[in-house]
Chain A
């Protein structure tokens, strides 16, 4: 999956979690917990959705690697099998 596709999935899931917001409109380098007013339950739902959509194992200790949109895309792309073309 290409990084662009991963980014699309990330934005889609953020929209599902915070439908009142516009994730595409925020700074992709900003802490999305602040930018989108996301609490721990929202964040867990976000991780859960990414896990379901992409099959990525995301241990709790890696949560800080997904606090911005850019970081999340990089992290997911680095997971085996996700970042490769195809």
Chain B
């Protein structure tokens, strides 16, 4: 019997509120199906299920706020019997909600200490690891004292988390501000940032865009950030130490290159949803993703995997912004690349002063994971890709 749990949609998320169930007992679900809508600081998120089966029982009622990791439903696998007597370890919605100090408006506990009765024995480190990775302790085999789940068990079962998105409500900007505050304060508290800056000549990239956009209808045109995202993603293939997460056990390289892109929200706030496998997408596909992400970010309709999977962040202040931006790393990521406003400037090329379109490109990276020398190589690699836009 599998469990469907409140996912972690970022290191700063401690609890979420179930808005509605989209599946009910007896419904068959496939991996990836959207099962519930959960309200978080980042808006209403559609949550996906990660295993196929039949919904056996719902454990949490809509309107209930529960800590990350709390089982919310039981999923019967193929060939499994329905639970007849109430399973001792999992109780009804009311009971499941009650022991967690989290009924409706109550604030979430600051640590995952208060959990429903019958949760598996797990060490503090295991609980922290599970929370950081959005994993569920239920059903995990423990190898610690008394069969307790320990941190090494969490690492072994490095399964991927599971949510998906659907919109129900809009954004709560105050909540989002709190989430940003928590993440950024943690970043500045824990991450020893170092900062690098270089000037990249965008003349070729810009000319390339002009050339292809001239032949295209507006709906098919590309924007400069797409080239920048792709250049960063391709550079990361050779510079894996900037792609991944810093955890208690040090650096964990990302399993793919999922570039998060900072998207501002009018009225305040921002989100940094991930574009999965950025390095493998064509420029047109990337543009479509970006367009879709911007639209959904602005109305608070992101998917859980987009919120939790980014392995690096790119921030671009656009064509009206300032000339350089030194980012704050979004933990547990280890780097953020910033592109300033492109400006025309005199530039010396081949011994002559010429007019070039330049952008100040910056890197803020985690000194626990990488050093300035590598950071410089990373920026140079991004530059190299932007000089060959037709190959992006």
Contact = CB atoms under 8 A, between A and B. Distances in A.
A and B touch in the complex (CB under 8 A): yes
A13 B56 CA distance: 47
B223 interface: yes
B223 A48 contact: no
B250 interface: no
Contacts of B320: 33-34, 39
Contacts of B218: 44, 47-48, 50-51, 58
Main secondary structure of the interface of B (DSSP, over half): helix
Given A18-B266, A33-B320, A39-B264, A44 B221 contact: yes
Nearest to B223: A40
Given A41-B223, A41-B294, A44-B223, A59 B214 contact: yes
Nearest to A42: B294
Contacts of B210: 60-61
Interface string A1-22: 0000000000000000010110
B319 interface: yes
A44 B221 CA distance: 8
Interface in B309-366: 318-320
Contacts of B266: 18, 20-21, 37
Nearest to B222: A44
A50 B219 CA distance: 11
Contacts of B219: 48, 51-52
Contacts of B223: 40-41, 44
Interface string B253-290: 00000000000101100000000000000000000001
Given A41-B223, A41-B290, A41-B294, A51 B217 contact: yes
Contact of A40 (B213, B267, B295, B319): B319
A59 B210 CA distance: 10
Contact of A60 (B214, B291, B294): B214
Contacts of A39: 264, 318, 320
Interface centre among B218, B319, B320 (most CB of A within 10 A): B218
Contacts of B290: 41
Interface string A29-73: 000011001011110110110111000001111000000000000
Contacts of A51: 217-219
Given A20-B266, A21-B266, A34-B320, A41 B291 contact: yes
Contacts of B295: 45
B224 interface: yes
A82 to B, nearest CB: 16
Given A18-B266, A21-B266, A40 B214 contact: no
B120 interface: no
B319 A20 contact: no
A41 B296 CA distance: 13
Given A40-B318, A40-B319, A60 B213 contact: yes
Given A18-B266, A21-B266, A40 B225 contact: yes
23 contacts: A33-B320, A37-B266, A40-B223, A40-B224, A41-B225, A41-B290, A41-B291, A41-B294, A42-B294, A44-B218, A45-B291, A45-B295, A47-B218, A48-B217, A48-B218, A48-B219, A50-B218, A51-B218, A52-B219, A58-B218, A59-B214, A60-B213, A60-B221
Given A33-B320, A40-B225, A44-B218, 10 more contacts: A37-B266, A39-B318, A40-B224, A41-B223, A41-B225, A41-B291, A41-B294, A44-B223, A48-B219, A61-B210
Interface of A: 18, 20-21, 33-34, 37, 39-42, 44-45, 47-48, 50-52, 58-61
Would you list the 5 A-B pairs with minimal beta carbon distance, nearest first?
A48-B218, A47-B218, A51-B218, A48-B219, A60-B213
